A = this chain, B = another copy of it.
Amino acid sequence: MAQEAEASVVRHHRPRVVVVGAGFAGLEVVRRLDGADCDVLLLDRSNHHVFQPLLYQVATAALSPADIAAPIRSIVRHQDNVRVLLSEVDGVDLTTRQVRVAGGQIDFDWLVLAAGATHTYFGNDQWASRAPGLKSVDDALEIRRRVLLAFEEAELEDDDVARRSKLTFVVIGGGPTGVEMAGALREIAAETIPADFRRVDTTTARILLLEGGPRLLASMSEEASEGALKALEGMGVEVHLDTLVTAMDETSVWVGDRSVPAANVIWAAGVQASPVVRGAGVPLDRQGRVLVESDCSLPGHPRVFAVGDLASQLDAVTGRPVPGVAQGAIQMGRFVGDIVRGEIERGGEVGIRPSFRYVNKGDMATIGRARAVADVGGRTFGGFFAWILWSLIHVTFLIGFRNKLLVMVNWAWQWVVQARGARLITGSPSPQVKRSAAAGWDDTE
């Protein structure tokens, strides 16, 4: 009897692995635990996994959200040991080994934090409504709405200064997202839509790309940076290096005492780790990332890991930081998934672990419709061939055959007719103009 009572208190259960975040890293951890003798709980605040490298194509109306996203439940439906919960994570208690969510506490034996990063305005949170960032499908739809509406408003606007402002787009941050957004915006204004407008000449739209550092694509080779700069300038994008935005107001973006009147501002500059581990007593770097051990575990907590954009990790041999890109996240996820699986199979004891090594398979960024720059295998190249390679790689890594197919159909279509298929203004569609030209039949008389 006594023994029975005790057994019902000390519950014997299979090892419980909680994974927070269904991005590249989190999904890879879950995949590695397929068939393992443990229960996996995958938490995400969204019901879908997003292929982030193509999010800018949703923001620029080339693809639909569903083309680059997949329901998390569908992705893991054949893994019987996985449960999915749609929930925000409020925090982590490493002492009681619990994750705090809206509905309560979730016990874990093993925890993998893969909650990713959000954008940060470096203490200027008041810029958020003026300069939306690009991290989620909702972000992308908001940017799409603003971009498309800007041209509609320019068409309606009678006031020259106001029209010029509607046609000015400032992209802040010269990393891959900023470079790709600026190129796509210029392509829209100069190639996709000019024939659709009667009053306004959309080819006169100004696209400014402001980068705080001395070169674009700082994580790539200098040759690639140079190539991207030349390609963007060749398209008509105005690139300003060593240029830090100091202020923003209703009408303008300020760099010191110079300003540019711009109705449209897009934030592609600061990245900050998800706040999920704040307050858990874990050492963080300046960007809020966890300073993990060489095995991606948290110092003093060998069964708790941080991977992907949430982790500040160094390559075990070169000592160089692992960049916050998809392949880094996937590699860390695989590495940690294998460790957890192996130790569960050996009874749950923490064993001797390898150190994480980052294998850079190459970096690339697209510029406009059929150009890219790439650093692969120590070589740098650009142009059409780099773009083909970029396209193939991105389609290959998309989750699900349906998404691969739809993205290819859309790209082929875009390539043939130079159109963008997802030019829908949804949300709040009412144009805001100072003086409307709606009543005028001016240019058709």
Chain A residues engaging chain B, CB cutoff 8 angstroms:
11, 13-14, 16, 39, 41, 45-48, 64-67, 69, 71, 73-74, 77, 81, 83-88, 101-107, 137-138, 141, 148, 152, 155-156, 193, 195-199, 402-403, 405-406, 409-410, 413, 417, 419, 421-427, 429-431, 433, 435-439, 441, 444-445
Closest B residue to A38 by beta carbon equals B444
| Cα(A422)–Cα(B74), bound, Å | 12
Are A85 and B413 interface neighbours, CB within 8 A?
no
CB–CB A423/B47 < 8 A: yes
15 A-B residue pairs with Cβ-Cβ distance under 8 Å, sorted by A, are A39-B444, A46-B429, A47-B423, A47-B425, A69-B424, A73-B196, A74-B419, A86-B155, A102-B430, A102-B438, A103-B437, A137-B424, A137-B426, A138-B426, A403-B421
- A103→B435 contact, CB < 8 A: yes
In the bound complex, CA of A138 to CA of B141 (Å):
12
A417 to B74 CA separation, bound complex (whole angstroms): 12
A101, chain B: closest CB distance, angstroms: 5
Q: Are B138 and A427 in contact (CB under 8 A)?
A: yes
Residues of B within 8 A of A423 (CB): 47-48, 66, 71, 74
Q: A47-B425, A83-B444, A424-B48 are in contact. Are A104 and B436 (CB under 8 A)?
A: yes
Which chain B residues lie closer than 8 Å to A66 at the CB level?
Answer: 64, 421-424
A272 to B193, CA, bound (A): 35
Indicate if the CB atoms of B425 and A48 lie closer than 8 Å. yes
Q: Which residue of chain B is the closest to A424 with respect to CB atoms?
A: B48
- CB-contact partner of A77 in B16, B69, B195, B426, under 8 A: B195
Rounded to whole Å, the gap between the CB of A422 and the closest CB of chain B is 4
Chain B residues, Cβ within 8 Å of A433: 103
7 new A-B contacts, CB < 8 A, other than A88-B430, A104-B439, A402-B421, are A41-B441, A48-B423, A65-B422, A101-B438, A106-B439, A106-B441, A402-B417
- Contacting A424 at CB < 8 Å: which of B39, B47, B410? B47
Counting chain B CB atoms within 10 Å of each CB, the highest count among A77, A107, A156, A429 belongs to A429
Tell me if A152 and B103 are in contact (CB < 8 A): no
On whether the beta carbons of B435 and A71 are closer than 8 Å, the reply is no
In the complex the two chains form, is B73's CB within 8 Å of A103's CB?
Answer: no
Tell whether, in the assembled complex, residue A105 and residue B430 are in contact, meaning their CB atoms are under 8 Å apart.
Answer: no
Q: Which of B65, B74, B87, B155 contacts A431 (CB 8 A)?
A: B87
Specify the chain B residue showing the minimal Cβ separation from A40.
B444
Q: Is A71 a contact of B406 with CB atoms below 8 Å? A: no
A426 touches B141 (CB 8 A): yes
Chain B residues with CB under 8 A of A406: 406, 409-410, 421
Which residues of B are found within 8 Å of A444, using beta-carbon distances?
Answer: 14, 39, 81, 83
A194 to chain B, nearest CB (A): 10
